Structure 1
């Protein structure tokens, strides 16, 4: 990547690459999901509402402020932009946020009645911050879906600081973040692998 590229241009490239990767794995069907990256000046680059994440173009990425307000009149960010903004506000180290709608996250979150999924004894757990061994259990909080995103954000807020693998909205999808886009993608891939394993184990009855 050219050193002459602006921070926004690099963010756009990061978002387009992430969208292609998530689409290739079946995690953003139709127009589902959204992707963002924090810019050095505090703005947030985020996908425009309604676009297929596997076919994003540069024009499909816009910027919003820390409260989710678009900087340019007429730009329409994702309906869930406030959840991205919340993550950046709650975690100053977060540089990228990914939201996907995989089959595993959707199904497991609908059948699991407890407030969290618990992932134990998998080697891949070490992809999450603070985990150094497979001999551990990582909770993934589950929150009921709500079309009122501001209200949903208030429900999610108390869990920050205790969800290294991100969280899941029931029947909807996952939210994962990291210090930069490669870290966020690695955590998303790790979580989706573990959720797929959990779903397979339930099918096998073990």
Structure 2
């Protein structure tokens, strides 16, 4: 089942496009597609083009990208973007709490190209004061880097996602739910996950809590 891999690629495409300052509508299209594909219980490889287009946010262009990945295990746009953007910026995106807008600022305003550059910037006290980055944000980024370095305390997304999906399936089968969705780090397609967060609505929450 390639859903997770495709969702990860689409999410990275969105992040790289945002770092480049591309069209926000195009960025959101890839973000939405990543979320919806990642949340599918059906394997996209078994779906026809019409079924794929029925997924919210998936149009003909994204159907083509999905087919491209299924056939070649890669998406040319993704590979091209990775050549344009320093690889180290994707490492910074893995820092909890750091998004593409912050990475774009770091790259354009401070010539940060990777985690080493970012840590040096923090040690010199030059991070706070960059556009949109205050002292509190600097402290959060510093803590996020420490958390990333302690990655062994977290689980790989590939290990956590199947567990989360299994929990969702069991809750759907046994509990009176309205809506249910995976949230937190898994929802944001972070490379590592500490906790599995699930959001649900129900007219009988007390019964859900007993499942």
Q: Place the TM-score, normalised by the shorter chain, in its bin.
A: under 0.3
Higher relative contact order (CA 8 A, sep 6+): 1
The structure with more radius of gyration: 2
More strand by share: 1
More helix by share: 2
TM-score w.r.t. the length of structure 2 is 0.27
TM-score w.r.t. the length of structure 1 is 0.27
